[in-house]
Amino acid sequence: MAKADALANGNGSATPAATKRQEPEENIFMFIPNQIGYSRIVLAIASLYYMPLHPRTCSLLYSISCLLDALDGVAARKFEQSTKFGAVLDMVTDRCTTACLLVFLASAFPRWSIIFQGLISLDLASHYMHMYATLSMGGSGQSHKKVDESRSWILKMYYSNNKVLFVFCALNELFFIALYLLSFSSPLLTPSLLQQVETQTVNPANPPAPKPSMLFTSPWSAGAMELARANKMDSTVPWILAAISFPVMAGKQFINVVQLVKASKWLAEGDRTERQKLGLPKKRN
């Protein structure tokens, strides 16, 4: 019987009694940190839906989405599920959600829209340049959060300490959330909140004004937004939050500038090295 088993493969040589078991392929997309990232996206989209007319609901959903940004990093370290996909997903989600909020602020405060447009551009440009420089100059296995102190001690301190990174990101978002709430509650920033609606005398010749729901059938119209703002909120807490978070927000923008400049110089160093290898510029007769 044993001999028959040995000749079973047709050439007289015995087959191995046991083959190496193949490990099941990991589904990177279903890692716990990435699932947290998906939930952040869902919450962010929900907050955008409520943003024009429901400031309290929007702020709550947006804040939870931002706070989960810290939880996915903890989960990645605890379950050993740190991935490049997760890092990019986290960064893209941060950039997109902040940009969407700044777009609303630009429409809420049109006089200052150029500032919010500049903040969007700086945020996207600095992070893209930093990520691209890290991948092209540091290698595909290099993380954008691993910064050599010789290049920038500010970026080294910013990215290497999770607590510092969380405080800067959280208070940066808190400042913009406070501005968002002030657009619904502060007559100082939104003078239209002081305007009073003239009431009409009710008599047969002068019928009462139609209901607001009949005036603004579209909840996305400018009139509907002003009507929602008429349901005033107390601006005290948003002003306090804005005052506390403003210095950190300003520091975050400074770090973005440093990040953009350092990444640009790093890429330029690589260009010079590459041109030297190619013997450029070539002398022409």
Evaluate whether residue 161 is within a structural domain: yes
Which residue range is the domain that position 164 belongs to? 28-188+222-270
Evaluate whether residue 282 is within a structural domain: no
Number of domains composing the chain: 1
Evaluate whether residue 284 is within a structural domain: no
Evaluate whether residue 84 is within a structural domain: yes
Give the per-residue pLDDT at 197.
Answer: 46
Evaluate whether residue 238 is within a structural domain: yes
Give the per-residue pLDDT at 6.
Answer: 47
Give the per-residue pLDDT at 35.
Answer: 96
Evaluate whether residue 244 is within a structural domain: yes
Give the per-residue pLDDT at 7.
Answer: 47
Give the per-residue pLDDT at 200.
Answer: 45
CATH number of the domain to which 175 belongs: 1.20.120
Q: What is d(CA 137, CA 117) in angstroms, rounded to the nearest whole number?
A: 30
Give the per-residue pLDDT at 265.
Answer: 93
Name the pTM for this structure.
0.79
Spell out the per-residue pLDDT of the chain, length 285, in tens: 454 554 445 454 444 545 556 777 899 999 999 999 999 999 999 999 999 888 999 999 999 999 999 898 899 989 999 888 998 999 999 999 999 999 999 999 999 999 999 999 999 999 999 989 988 887 655 677 778 777 889 999 999 888 899 999 999 999 999 999 999 888 888 777 666 544 444 455 444 544 445 555 666 666 666 655 555 678 999 999 999 999 999 999 999 999 999 999 999 999 999 999 988 888 765
Evaluate whether residue 276 is within a structural domain: no
Q: Which residues are catalytic?
A: 94
Evaluate whether residue 88 is within a structural domain: yes
